[in-house]
Amino acid sequence: MVILPVPFSYNDSMSHTYGVIREGIRWMFGIFWGFCFGIFFLSGTAFLSGRQIYYEISDSMQPVIEKGSLLFVKEKEEYEEGDIIAFYVMYHGQPMCVTHRIVGRTKQEGYERYVTKGDANEREDGCRIDRAQIVGQVTGHIPYFGYICLFIQKNSTFLLWVLLFSLLYGRESGELTYFISR
């Protein structure tokens, strides 16, 4: 009987597969945490520059602002027609932030109020906006990043579990120990 040599053993093959899977998981964690820290960096930069961050959750401002965009909002002294503003209105007893364009001004009860409309809407908003309701003017936006921020905000417990798993995974592979001891 002739026994032919096998170029690699079953254990070597499994070891290689395990290494490829491990590397793939490491890359996924890296990309995921890169997104998370990038968003935290954007939030901090926005805060330091006097801006607030909001999310566009409707289609009312398309095509100018896509649904799911991350909005940067800054307060101004005066608002003019054509400005895209973020403002609060009551919706079913709860305050809701809306992003629409100023299309006019009116005087009601001695106060100046703003007439607003979403770019994708056919008609103006039914309510008139008082200056006190306005958060600020939209100074910039990043399309679709609002979805990521909203996910992080709504799933903070899940993210803590992912962080814990990442740290334990790094510790098991010896990479975390190497990184800390450097």
CB atoms under 10 Å from CB of 125, counted, come to 18
Spatial separation of the C-alpha atoms in residues 61 and 100, rounded to whole Å: 7
Any alpha helices (H) in the chain, and if so which ranges?
10-48, 145-154, 156-173, 175-181
From the list 153, 125, 130, 170, the residue with the least C-alpha distance to 55 is 153
Spatial separation of the C-alpha atoms in residues 80 and 98, rounded to whole Å: 17
From the list 64, 63, 125, the residue with the least C-alpha distance to 98 is 125
Residue of 58, 60, 69, 181 marked catalytic: 58
Q: Is 43 a catalytic residue?
A: no
Spatial separation of the C-alpha atoms in residues 82 and 85, rounded to whole Å: 9
Spatial separation of the C-alpha atoms in residues 174 and 11, rounded to whole Å: 21
- Residues noted as catalytic: 58
